[in-house]
Chains A and B, each alone.
Chain A
Amino acid sequence: MDWQGQKLAEQIMQVLLSVFAVVSFVAGYVLGSFQMMMLVYAVGVTLTALITVPNWPFFNRHPLNWLDPSEAEKQPKPQVAVSSKKKSTKK
């Protein structure tokens, strides 16, 4: 998933859950059934999970251009900092 996709996934998740919360509450209140509210909400959470959690292709529409491995080899590599100086005690 690319950056844009992650942002999209989060937005869709927040909107869908909020909408389902409102819809399920209204459904439960109007029908006078607590069970109905919980059922609609559970369906909503599952649906939102199916849409936003897996790595669907439409979340990867702005893919990052990672450097090709053969190109990367030619670039200077970052050096690991090693302190090779040691103070030896001399009499």
Chain B
Amino acid sequence: MHSFGYRLNGLLTFAVTILALMCAITSLSDNFNTPSPSAEIKIININWFQKQPQGHDEVSLMMNVSADLQSLFTWNTKQVFIFVAAEYGTPKNSLNQVSLWDAIIPAKENAKFWIHTSNKYRFVDQGNNLRGKKFNLTMHWHVMPKTGKMFADKIVLTGYSLPEEYR
């Protein structure tokens, strides 16, 4: 370590290596967090339910999504991405998952919320299977970290169904 440059290089290399270690430990510390999220989705109204010109069923819903996802946040959380998907089976596909709405929650304060909204993305079927269809609404979330591993999980809410006839 006989010159300024040598010592500076050695110091910076060591500092960055230790930083990488700190980030790894920070990510590992997320595993100690035991989240207890809750969510509720109510379908307020079926706005319309039609067969599109191409022949596929489409429905527009009004939903009230409320959730308390504050326990998902840790000191290492950058943001939480959530989305609501409708899940159902058809003769053609054993599982259809159609994303209806999503949002980014940037901070813990915003994680306890309710929103009254129509579906952000179109609820279209690959076919004409939606009449009288029973489906689940699943709230998925991705906890995106500042550094390290991303955790993803979901809550499945059952018991929803569509009308028997087009409106």
Contact = CB atoms under 8 A, between A and B. Distances in A.
Interface in A1-50: 1, 6, 9-10, 13-14, 17-18, 21, 24-25, 28-29, 31-34, 37, 41, 45, 48-49
B103 interface: no
Per DSSP, chain B at the interface is helix
B29 interface: yes
A55 B14 contact: no
B4 A54 contact: yes
B4 A25 contact: no
Contacts of B14: 13-14, 17
Contacts, number: 58
Contacts of B22: 21, 24-25, 37, 41
Interface stretch (B5-13, B112-120, B153-161): B5-13
A24 B7 CA distance: 23
Contacts of A6: 1-2
Contact of B7 (A9, A17, A28, A31): A9
Interface in B86-136: none
Interface in B14-33: 14-15, 18-19, 21-22, 25-26, 29
A17 B10 CA distance: 12
Contact of B29 (A29, A31, A33, A41): A29
> Nearest 10 CB-CB pairs, A to B?
A32-B75, A6-B1, A21-B18, A53-B7, A45-B15, A34-B146, A53-B8, A10-B1, A13-B11, A25-B22
Interface of B: 1-2, 4, 7-8, 10-11, 14-15, 18-19, 21-22, 25-26, 29, 74-76, 146-147
